[in-house]
Structure 1
């Protein structure tokens, strides 16, 4: 069996899911090729698990000062190139296409009448979730952006629907707690804005991962270049994490049992929903403009109990090898069996 796996590379969460699935699929004897889009090739890092992967321009969004810039997102995407890439992608050698919200592979599969399965957090919006009702807004866009024949959604709770638990990488470093050390990943905010928030909090050491070439120390604010392993080590030993409302990183933080302080990307309905769900489940605190009062209230809270998620990647890889015959409802029931209810978690 041979698969083409398309990954939306705008956010690191999609790439992290693909890393986990890559290993699980190989263990099931499945041959996999990967295609990434939404980020320039030179901006991709730690991509060794994907072998000789392909890159296409795809579609992405532009952020300005912590919010989505709709006009620039529209004008800076190259839709002519997108259509060319869709038409040029030959899927003849593949038995199945998987799309983690990636448009080139999804549309090429639709055009060539190939079976395409979607595996992504976005497909959870097919079902009723707590918080703002963004599903009605998002699902037409999701279906247009990356059309699939079956969408497998992932979330922190099943919410009485066929939604699977998060598909994340197991923590590879011993989990400890270095008091007064906080990990920060706010890729959609400017460095100056992050510095303004963190500068008054001088009794805390902040490790801020961002798009720079070399480490820079600015007193208690330590700026660090993007590194998957460096980030994972910091995540394992920090006291808490400040991050945007992305699904993948939030899942890793919950798994590690770290305090989470999260800011949704303004104008991004998925992150608005994510932070609302985290708040509803009592799993994180949400901010829009960080104040010292809110920060210290958050950092002085006790650390949460780590959330133990089942091996979703292994279950999905087996499901794929067996021909995707079982329903998403069966998969969800199998994977959530024995998991904590919302009432037990809060």
Structure 2
């Protein structure tokens, strides 16, 4: 079987998941990867056969989406990329929220399966942000169109929604607690975050940021360049994790029974919906980092308990279900 796995390259979660799935997908045949998007910070050894600028998200220093930069990054070349993408050469097309591949399958009338976290929003049972957003809802449901869907979320909210896929490194790990707090907030600039962390001198922070190229120390903060394995190792040793409203990082932290503080990207409907799901589970969520942050942080770190995430399906079982999606149609 020839398999094409299309990956949305906005952020690091999609590529991280693809890296984890690759060994399992190889059991079913030859696997090629297509990456769309221009602002992932992860390097990968995946067999990538094509790339496109696609449609990427960019952020302001203070944590919100930079809509002007998003619009400026858009190029009509994505339509040519879609036309050239040889989806007909594959027995199975798996699409992790990539618009270009979705368009290519539409052009060629090719079946595909949308797989990943965004696919879970095809179900009305998946939690949504408290404030309804018609544009955000439309994007989640229609940005990528497929003939089949298999979603991932913190819980199995529906029949076609499965638990998160956790890195094997984390599954095999024995979590410890050396007291530090692992931080991954790519939508905030270091200059914005630093004063808040310095105002908590009794706590040590390991901050991962695309702004740094080498490890450096400053008082109670250690800055690290973006590294999938590096951040994983930091979380395994951590006392707690501060992250955005994404999917993979909170899931991995909860699997290891770490405290999580989630700070979703401002006005980002998917992240706000993830935050609603996390809040339902008992995870602390705040919408902004502002002058009240340090009081909230102190209460969270001293008085809250971690929320444990349990898996009902293994990665091997989820991949088998994914492969069978189109076989049974």
- After TM superposition, list the pairs within 5 Å mapping 1:60-209 onto structure 2: 60-64=56-60, 65-78=62-75, 80-126=76-122, 127-130=124-127, 131-132=129-130, 134=132, 137-160=135-158, 162-170=160-168, 171=170, 172-179=172-179, 181-209=180-208
The equivalent residue for 2:9 is: 9
Q: Secondary structure at the match of 1:257?
A: coil
Kindly report the root-mean-square deviation, in angstroms, between the aligned alpha carbons of the 2 structures.
2.1
The equivalent residue for 2:242 is: 242
Counterpart-to-counterpart distance in 1, 2:185 and 2:78: 28
Q: 1:71 to 1:262 in 2, by over 3 A?
A: same
The equivalent residue for 1:278 is: 278
CA contact 1:319–1:325 (8 Å) conserved in 2: no
Q: How many residues align?
A: 321
CA contact 2:41–2:226 (8 Å) conserved in 1: no
Query: Structure 1: 5+ residue runs without aligned partners?
Result: 328-346
The equivalent residue for 1:264 is: 264
Deviations 1:71-110 (A, max 9, x none): 33122211x1111111111223211111100111121111
Counterpart-to-counterpart distance in 2, 1:323 and 1:281: 29
Q: Secondary structure at the match of 1:158?
A: coil
CA contact 2:120–2:151 (8 Å) conserved in 1: yes
TM-score (norm 1): 0.86
Q: Secondary structure at the match of 2:303?
A: coil
CA contact 1:166–1:312 (8 Å) conserved in 2: no
The 4+ residue runs of structure 1 with deviation greater than 6 A are: none
CA contact 1:37–1:55 (8 Å) conserved in 2: yes
Q: 1:304 to 1:144 in 2, by over 3 A?
A: closer
Query: Structure 2: 5+ residue runs without aligned partners?
Result: none
Q: From 50, 55, 64, give the equivalent of 2:51.
A: 55
Counterpart-to-counterpart distance in 1, 2:78 and 2:120: 26
